[in-house]
Structure 1
């Protein structure tokens, strides 16, 4: 093994746990990432009354983030491969936080132009957030051995649920007590502080000042790509034909389409779920903000549990294919339970069913672990970008489709069927299309 000059000499014989701190930072950053996406779902009822928006217009406003987020995925993945995760991610956090804060500023504009300016800000938030999840995938691939990767990816991915648990009540309170614009000032300010912290504490495995040689060897022996970031710093050119090979591979396409279906569930909970509680179930905005956190708690528990189960199966000798697919299939089956809400009236029963559905969604949300297992080493960022492009197309289609369904039917019944059907389609992708889960080797041009 080559000399690692940055490894702490005091810890040569003792395995440090620096990778867990890196995972903690991923969890914190991704929590804020999802909270900033969800700001509109909490403030939308107040904005809808003030601006006179109908469900379809609100659906398009919800989708603004995803249009730019999807457009930025492949460029964002290329930037990560080209310039390294630390620098690109720091710029990403700072920019999305700035445009989150700016949404509060444009809230002071006249009503006639406010909606358009707000739409543009949401677009820019989406574009700035584009490198975040491919960056998460790169850091997990670099910092964690294969047998720990499922849990690590599940933990950072479960932050989407924790974001609702932590921030939905806060944002509901701010909207109720200080108006919807205050939400954007507070959330944007938090992100700008976090961007500065990220630059100070994040490093790649081979240059981290506190990692021991024992931990570095443990990561590398277990399949961690410890030199991944150093290759990025070397500015390796984008391999020609890499994108074409990714899209032509059956396994990768099955994973990509499956992620679209799973992310449809995510965007229902991120966008229309609080509106569903207010308009379909008669809750106040303040109550809906707190109630929305209950399914999110279940989703968080399910998200962590799915990764733990998957890695446990790997350690017990099961194939990576079986270990990743089993929680995905079981979790998606549980997610279809949300359709039962169409047949019950009790608020507490609706919340219980949605909690079960969100728990299942968490268990099955192992797409980023699968991506860390399968992405070609040379283009890990690009592959993550393509994966997230497919997944977040659901951020465009889901809010708009649900907006039309609600407007035409006057209820959310068809919307819940639409979301549940996507969970079933995700199962089909993983069982019938993906096949064996393994790292894709690119053919040289």
Structure 2
């Protein structure tokens, strides 16, 4: 019996959590491919349908209207049903609406498809946050969140040259048919390969103990929770969370400029040929991938060296947001190489901030409300995604150039850094009294 106990004690943890991370990286890649594909097609859509900058801004932002409005209900559904069912249905839904974009014939029908896309994409990041908080100990969480956040930018980086080729070869509708089909196929794989730790194949007790002992919430969030209104108040009265919400608003506003208007900026403002845009336009996205990975490793290294959560999780975000403000410098040069450099610096910084913001949120969110807290954060953050493309479109239509739009994006970086420095304070997990 003693030998058996020793054998159990020495049992090596399995590595199922890394396979789970691979799944959410792929699904996040698809998610952002389906969000950003319209930015590549935008110049051709605008020309074919006669849309001006203001109308294109509304089309760009429509996805975020529905995405933002259903964030909190999605969090409640996520707490009740768990990420396996919710994420799978969401993937099927948004992939269907992505494909349906190829059938649109008017401003109204295009707005309708973008609203449907946003509705079904809404559970994605709250589900990611819940899955990572469930499956990963604190010391690995920055890397895990950095990995799936990096997958966003891999989707954006690859979509620019590949989708540009599809655009030139087969027309803009082919972009939506191809990206929609990818999501529908992967939904089957998700349903057959994901589950929570307690129900998952390929995970042993040693790995579950590793997650739990390291601050993971495998035994807490795997259950279907009942949420009360008394618990909900913590999500709207915490200074820490409001600091996170404002910072998230700024981070998302910057991201959505790159996801929507950036290719059009290169084509219309900088007079770059379509195929050339497909190559040079991908460079800032690769810079963002580097920012995500560097920030994740840097933050986890500071955690391992016991610098404290405040320094380890906040500093990379603050530095990244301040770097994003550099985008305004593109207004002061006609050298296209310098323009791309400034865009790369700005998107590198946005990637740094985006990667670690969710890691910090996972450290302070109430244990009983992991999915719902992520939804509230996403709700406020994605108001930036809803407003940013429309504001940029209005500024372009009003002024006839992108100069004021870049100033707006730069201001978002400064606002976000201010929030992280002065509002959040010293981060600690929010405890809800029973």
TM-score normalized with structure 1 length: 0.93
Asked whether the equivalents of residues 212 and 218 of structure 2 are also in contact (C-alpha less than 8 Å), the reply is yes
Partner of 2:87: 89
**Structure 2 Cα separation of the partners of residues 10 and 423 of structure 1:** 51
Partner of 2:119: 127
Asked whether the equivalents of residues 150 and 310 of structure 1 are also in contact (C-alpha less than 8 Å), the reply is yes
**Structure 2 Cα separation of the partners of residues 261 and 187 of structure 1:** 28
Q: Does 1:411 align with 2:401?
A: yes
Asked whether the equivalents of residues 375 and 439 of structure 1 are also in contact (C-alpha less than 8 Å), the reply is yes
How far has the Cα of 1:11 moved from its partner?
11
Q: Does 1:368 align with 2:366?
A: no
Partner of 1:390: 380
Asked whether the equivalents of residues 12 and 213 of structure 1 are also in contact (C-alpha less than 8 Å), the reply is no
Asked whether the equivalents of residues 11 and 211 of structure 1 are also in contact (C-alpha less than 8 Å), the reply is no
**Structure 1 Cα separation of the partners of residues 254 and 9 of structure 2:** 44
Q: What's the secondary structure of 1:16's corresponding residue?
A: coil
Asked whether the equivalents of residues 366 and 429 of structure 2 are also in contact (C-alpha less than 8 Å), the reply is yes
Asked whether the equivalents of residues 221 and 370 of structure 2 are also in contact (C-alpha less than 8 Å), the reply is no
Partner of 2:78: 80
Asked whether the equivalents of residues 164 and 293 of structure 1 are also in contact (C-alpha less than 8 Å), the reply is yes
How far has the Cα of 1:228 moved from its partner?
3.7
Q: Does 1:242 align with 2:231?
A: yes
Q: Does 1:274 align with 2:263?
A: yes
**Structure 2 Cα separation of the partners of residues 290 and 238 of structure 1:** 48
Q: Does 1:63 align with 2:55?
A: no
How far has the Cα of 1:84 moved from its partner?
0.6
**Structure 1 Cα separation of the partners of residues 51 and 249 of structure 2:** 28
**Structure 2 Cα separation of the partners of residues 127 and 10 of structure 1:** 46
**Structure 1 Cα separation of the partners of residues 429 and 190 of structure 2:** 29
Asked whether the equivalents of residues 45 and 285 of structure 1 are also in contact (C-alpha less than 8 Å), the reply is no
Partner of 1:223: 215
What is the correspondence of 1:277-356 to structure 2 with a 5 Å cutoff?
A: 277-356=266-345
Which residues of structure 1 form unaligned runs of 5+? 1-8
Asked whether the equivalents of residues 86 and 202 of structure 1 are also in contact (C-alpha less than 8 Å), the reply is yes
Partner of 2:3: none
Deviations 1:170-197 (A, max 9, x none): 2111111111111111111100011110
**Structure 2 Cα separation of the partners of residues 138 and 427 of structure 1:** 25
How far has the Cα of 1:350 moved from its partner?
0.9
**Structure 2 Cα separation of the partners of residues 162 and 329 of structure 1:** 23
Q: What's the secondary structure of 1:56's corresponding residue?
A: helix
Which residues of structure 2 form unaligned runs of 5+? 1-6
Asked whether the equivalents of residues 339 and 420 of structure 1 are also in contact (C-alpha less than 8 Å), the reply is yes
Asked whether the equivalents of residues 11 and 212 of structure 1 are also in contact (C-alpha less than 8 Å), the reply is no
**Structure 1 Cα separation of the partners of residues 41 and 315 of structure 2:** 37
Q: What's the secondary structure of 1:289's corresponding residue?
A: helix
**Structure 2 Cα separation of the partners of residues 30 and 116 of structure 1:** 28
Aligned pair count reads: 427
**Structure 1 Cα separation of the partners of residues 219 and 188 of structure 2:** 25
Asked whether the equivalents of residues 158 and 303 of structure 1 are also in contact (C-alpha less than 8 Å), the reply is yes
Q: What's the secondary structure of 1:13's corresponding residue?
A: coil
**Structure 1 Cα separation of the partners of residues 69 and 220 of structure 2:** 25
For residue 102 of structure 1, the aligned residue among 91, 100, 104 is: 100
How far has the Cα of 1:364 moved from its partner?
1.8
Asked whether the equivalents of residues 221 and 367 of structure 2 are also in contact (C-alpha less than 8 Å), the reply is no
What is the correspondence of 1:138-177 to structure 2 with a 5 Å cutoff?
A: 138-177=130-169
What is the correspondence of 1:424-435 to structure 2 with a 5 Å cutoff?
A: 424-435=414-425
Asked whether the equivalents of residues 66 and 392 of structure 1 are also in contact (C-alpha less than 8 Å), the reply is yes
Question: Higher mean Cα deviation, 268-277 or 16-25?
Answer: 16-25
**Structure 1 Cα separation of the partners of residues 114 and 257 of structure 2:** 17
How far has the Cα of 1:10 moved from its partner?
10
Q: What's the secondary structure of 1:349's corresponding residue?
A: helix
Deviations 1:333-381 (A, max 9, x none): 2111111101111111111111111111111222111121111111111
What is the correspondence of 1:25-40 to structure 2 with a 5 Å cutoff?
A: 25-40=23-38
How far has the Cα of 1:93 moved from its partner?
0.4
